[in-house]
Amino acid sequence: MLNYTYKKFFRRKILEQIKVMSVFGTRPEAIKMAPVVQELENDMNIKSIVCTTAQHREMLDQVLELFKIKPDYDLNIMKENQNLWSLTSDILLKMKDVLEQAQPDIVLVHGDTTTAFAAALSAFYAKIPVGHVEAGLRTFNKYYPFPEELNRVVADAVSTLYFAPTRTSVQNLLNSGIKEEKNIFQTGNTVIDALLYTVKNHETNLDNLKLNPDLRTILLTSHRRENLGKPLEEICDAILELVKTHKDIQVIYPVHLNPNVRKTVFEKLENHERIILTEPMEYAPFATLMKKADVILTDSGGIQEEAPALAKPVLVLRDETERPEALEFGTVKLVGTDKERIVSTVSALLNSKEEYDKMATAVNPYGDGLASKRIVKAILKYFAK
């Protein structure tokens, strides 16, 4: 009898599982959604469905492998040097078929990519609730970063549940007039979940990079659309100047696969003494490299969030940021893309221990490693109504 009741109960649970579809397509989305997918898969009340647009192909696959995620749907849309029009329409249309087939109860999207924007819109057209992970980030300048600011505004506009990483992002959502305050959850950023997990479980040997242990290491990444062309050339010129004037530094730059990035970077920096250009690195060695670096120069969103947790000074190669929190602690500084400004700011850091120590403080305004758990709890709460 007991056995029968248990079976009946268990069957009921399975039948009532909430179908949660996570959609992502680029490297940073995959890193930040991987811990959410792991949490969803661990909850017996949830049927986790993963759909990747593969807006990125190789850079996405690196992450799927690390976190052992096997997508249920792979839209495989990436094209060489793709444009925003075809990217958006491909995702919008292909998601229609996936949603019709999978019939999820909720669709989770992440951040500000075209995948997030188009997948959220597609779910909205199908009248399926959207949960936006990393909701509420804003620069309030619709052309900067482009097209990300608009992507996240639209993703928020069509969402039902908002997983905002910080107080500032919660406040941005409230200020934007969202009425369902109870559907806004301050969760922390899932990037910290991914980083802590990776640093703890996957510290990696970096011998293949052939870094010189006697030199100080500057880690550089730059890929943003608004930095393509002249700004990226200025960044490269600043690097050339820095290696010329500081004989005790080396620069390592894992170069993004965007052909517009690669053309400039390889033309300017290839075959240069103390400048190491690598392919995009897998997340585990990259996290190890961030820990090892002395200074980080980047226009990446995710690295702005990760590096402060590792006590690394970050100079952001942008004029505005939607991530103001670490600026307040002084671990992150905006330096823009002007060559002279980059050179003088990096030099000041390299030349003064006092300046360096002021920035090299471990702060964690973006999360505590439990964001994904909070997101899953919030989803269960929403469906328990």
Six-digit token string for 301: 């969103």
Query: Residues 22, 23, 28, 34: which binds ligand UD1 (CB under 6 A)?
Result: 28
Q: Give yes or no for residue 300 binding ligand UDP (CB under 6 A).
A: yes
Q: Give yes or no for residue 132 binding ligand UD1 (CB under 6 A).
A: no
Where are any strands of DSSP class E within the chain? Answer: 18-24, 46-52, 73-74, 106-110, 130-133, 161-164, 184-186, 216-221, 249-254, 275-278, 295-298, 314-316, 332-334
234 is catalytic: no
What's the rounded Cα separation, in Å, for the pair 111 and 133? 6
Place of tokens 């989305």: 29
Place of tokens 């989770």: 108
Q: Which does 302 bind (CB under 5 to 8 A by kind): ligand UD1, ligand UDP, none?
A: ligand UDP
Show the site string, 338-377: x = touches ligand UD1 by CB under 6 A, - = not.
Answer: ----------------------------------------
Question: Closest CB to ligand UD1 among 89 and 352?
Answer: 89
256 is catalytic: yes
Six-digit token string for 320: 């505005």
Q: Which does 57 bind (CB under 5 to 8 A by kind): ligand UDP, ligand UD1, none?
A: ligand UD1
Query: Residues 33, 34, 59, 349: which binds ligand UD1 (CB under 6 A)?
Result: 59
> What's the min distance (Å) between Cβ of 181 and ligand UD1?
28
Q: Phi, psi (5° rounding) for residue 252?
A: -120, 130
Q: Give yes or no for residue 209 binding ligand UDP (CB under 6 A).
A: no
Query: Residues 19, 41, 57, 158: which binds ligand UD1 (CB under 6 A)?
Result: 57
Q: Give yes or no for residue 219 binding ligand UDP (CB under 6 A).
A: no
Choosing from 39, 74, 148, 305, the catalytic residue is 148
Question: Closest CB to ligand UDP among 128 and 232?
Answer: 232
When CB distances to ligand UDP are compared, the closest residue is 300
What's the rounded Cα separation, in Å, for the pair 290 and 135? 26
Six-digit token string for 54: 């593969």
Q: Residue 123, CB half-sphere, CA atoms under 13 Å: how many? A: 30
The full length of the chain comes to: 385
246 is catalytic: no
Interaction residues for ligand UDP, span 156-195 (CB under 6 A): 191
Q: Give yes or no for residue 30 binding ligand UD1 (CB under 6 A).
A: no
Six-digit token string for 321: 């940021």
225 is catalytic: yes
Stretch that binds ligand UDP, among 150-158, 210-218, 301-309, 355-363 (CB under 6 A): 301-309
Query: Residues 302, 308, 313, 336: which binds ligand UDP (CB under 6 A)?
Result: 302
Total chain residues near ligand UD1 (CB under 6 A): 24
Residues 57, 59, 62, 64, CA torsion sign: negative
Q: Give yes or no for residue 223 binding ligand UD1 (CB under 6 A).
A: yes
- Whether a cis peptide bond, with omega within 30° of 0, leads into 213 is no
DSSP string, 179-202: S-GGGEEE---HHHHHHHHHHHH-
Q: Give yes or no for residue 231 binding ligand UDP (CB under 6 A).
A: no
Q: Give yes or no for residue 367 binding ligand UDP (CB under 6 A).
A: no
Closest CA to 164 of 142, 185, 148, 182: 185
Show the site string, 10-49: x = touches ligand UDP by CB under 6 A, - = not.
Answer: -----------------xx--x------------------
Taking the CB of residue 184, how many other CB atoms lie within 10 A of it? 21
What's the rounded Cα separation, in Å, for the pair 66 and 44? 23
Closest CA to 274 of 298, 320, 242, 243: 243
Q: Which residues bind ligand UDP (CB under 6 A)?
A: 27-28, 31, 191, 221, 223, 254, 280-281, 283, 286, 300-303, 306
Q: Which active-site residues does the annotation give?
A: 112, 134, 148, 223, 225, 256
Q: Which residues bind ligand UD1 (CB under 6 A)?
A: 26-28, 55-59, 78-82, 87, 112-114, 147-148, 223, 225, 257-259
